[in-house]
Amino acid sequence: MKVLDIQNVTIRFGGLEAIRDVSFSADEGQLLAIIGPNGAGKTTIFNAMTGVYQPTVGQILFNGKLINGLKPNQLVTMGVARTFQNIRLFSALTVLENVMVGSQCRSREGLWGALAGGKKVAANRVKSIQQCREFIEIVGLTDYLDELATNLPYGKQRLLEIARALATGCELLLLDEPAAGMNAVEREELVALIRRISKELNKTIILIEHDINLVMNISEHIVVLDHGEKIAEGTPGEIRTNQKVIEAYLGSEDPLEQEVV
């Protein structure tokens, strides 16, 4: 079943066509990567999937429902969560508190219920804390539970963003350059984590990533954008040897040419 279906999407900013007639889809549980040289339109299409931008033309469906025009918070409630290229954590909150913020969008009692208190609210809170601790354990940050987010090393802040996104109860997880700023060891751990989230938690994952080794290593399906257009899609093996992809990366600063030529 298609979890996300991008149908003939064009996105214009004034006279600039950042995305031109792009279509692709992600199946349930699939691990899909979007790659392309700088300025190819990766972030733009990501932002359209999360309600930050609206398609000028075309449709985006989530579980068969049209999501054009929905706001990011509505999409989170529906099951679409993301991390950001530039980390966006609550730096003055602890690791646990940051993940609790993510889980709030699933909470049924709402603000007034929480303020009113009562046994049920207290019990829900205990359950919620337990679930948040489990997500923190999954990303390997249990030792940092009460640490302020701002005190975490950069790579661990990225992991915390993933835990917060998982705590929203998402079905579709969008990772925007999750390996940026990570060292080689952290990257290896990240690959293991993304695989675990995909296979054990059965999330559909779409990632944008400049680290082509990581993309080739982890993805089941790859969509390649160049100058706002989809120039190829397929398995890592197909993309590695695709002539259009090789040409798009030649002369770019991204390292695909070293991988494929």
Ligand X SMILES: Nc1ncnc2c1ncn2[C@@H]1O[C@H](COP(=O)(O)OP(=O)(O)OP(=O)(O)O)[C@@H](O)[C@H]1O
- What region, left, alpha or beta, does residue 221 occupy, with left being phi > 0 and alpha being psi -120 to 50 degrees? beta
Q: DSSP E strands: which ranges in the chain? A: 2-13, 16-27, 31-35, 57-62, 65-66, 80-82, 172-176, 204-208, 221-226, 229-234
Q: Considering the complex, what minimum distance in angstroms separates the CB of residue 129 from ligand X?
A: 36
- Spatial contact of 166 and 201, defined as CB atoms under 8 Å apart: yes
Structural contact between residues 28 and 173, judged by C-beta atoms closer than 8 angstroms: no
Tell me the closest approach of the beta carbon of residue 4 to ligand X, in angstroms. 17
Judged by beta carbon, residue 56 or residue 128, the one nearer ligand X is 56
For residues 41 and 102, which CB has a smaller minimum distance to ligand X in the complex? 41
Please say which residue, 40 or 190, places its beta carbon nearer to ligand X. 40
Q: Shortest gap between Cβ of 13 and ligand X (angstroms)?
A: 3
Q: Which stretch of DSSP H or E encloses residue 220? A: none
User: What are the residues binding ligand X (CB under 6 A)?
Assistant: 13, 16, 18, 36, 38-44
Q: In the bound complex, what is the minimum distance in angstroms from residue 8's beta carbon to ligand X?
A: 18
Which CB, 143 or 247, lies closer to ligand X? Answer: 247
Yes or no: say if 170 and 203 are a contact pair by the CB < 8 Å rule.
yes
